[in-house]
Structure 1
Amino acid sequence: MSNIDQPAAAPPHAPSGEQFIEMQNSPQFQELKARLRKFIFPMTAFFLIWYAIYVLLGAFAHDFMAIQVWGNINLGLILGLLQFVTTFVITGLYVRFANRELDPRAEAIRNEMEGGPSL
């Protein structure tokens, strides 16, 4: 018997609007939101401050940014490239955080809402 001949699995239970609202008010959903916020807000603040410092240095500290570090490479270029590095590092940290902290909790909530197996 091929996969085409096999009956399709039953679709997951579709929760009602009331069930979604009830889940939003549940302690497990509130914990999920709190964990997300504890990561997102400080990381966003860090990056915005770091970016603002870079922009302000570029606008008002020309001599500092023009310091030659190696050959024609100056401090402004290095700090600008570090903006990209910071973005990739923050992205990697978020992915690791989401895989460890958020995804298992979200999966448990989804399974509860759809009537599937709990983790």
Structure 2
Amino acid sequence: MTASADPRVERIASNPKYQRLRSTRNKLGWTLTIVMLLAYYGYIGLIAFDKAFLATPIGAGKITTVGIPIALGLMVFTILITGFYVRRANREFDKLTEQIMEEAQ
């Protein structure tokens, strides 16, 4: 029996909760992807077009430049949006998936 011939697959695919799950998950995934790409390519754009700004020293010791905290911020931002997605997936998407699977039985 192929997956497409399995009646559970048809019940899951026609379930409005499944359609909502797919739509919500895809929207969130694409939104976070676009935000991450803007942040990453924004930083790369600064490297390419405004090196002088990134090379501006911070503080009296002039050991660290503006580019270092921006790069660290980008790394922290990446971790935060990943955590946001995982938290949302664990709270909302997993519950919805369980409901859909129970209804398909």
TM-score bracket relative to the smaller structure: 0.7 to 0.9
Which of the two has higher C-alpha Rg? 1
TM-score, with length taken from structure 1: 0.75
In the alignment, structure 2 segments of 5+ residues that lack a partner are none
- Report the equivalent of 2:89: 98
Give the total of aligned pairs: 99
User: Is 1:107 matched up with 2:98?
Assistant: yes
Cα contact 2:12–2:101 (8 A) shared by 1: no
In the alignment, structure 1 segments of 5+ residues that lack a partner are 1-15
Deviation string, structure 1 residues 2-31 (Cα, Å, up to 9, x no partner): xxxxxxxxxxxxxx6242133123211100
| Runs of 4+ residues over 6 Å off in structure 1 | none
User: Is 1:52 matched up with 2:41?
Assistant: yes
- Report the equivalent of 2:65: 74
Of 32, 40, 47, which aligns to 1:43? 32
- Report the equivalent of 2:50: 61
Of 27, 31, 35, which aligns to 2:20? 31
Give the percent of matched residue pairs that are identical in Structure 1 and Structure 2. Answer: 31
Report the AA paired with residue 52 of structure 1.
Y
Distance 2:78 2:52 in 1: 26
Distance 1:101 1:59 in 2: 40
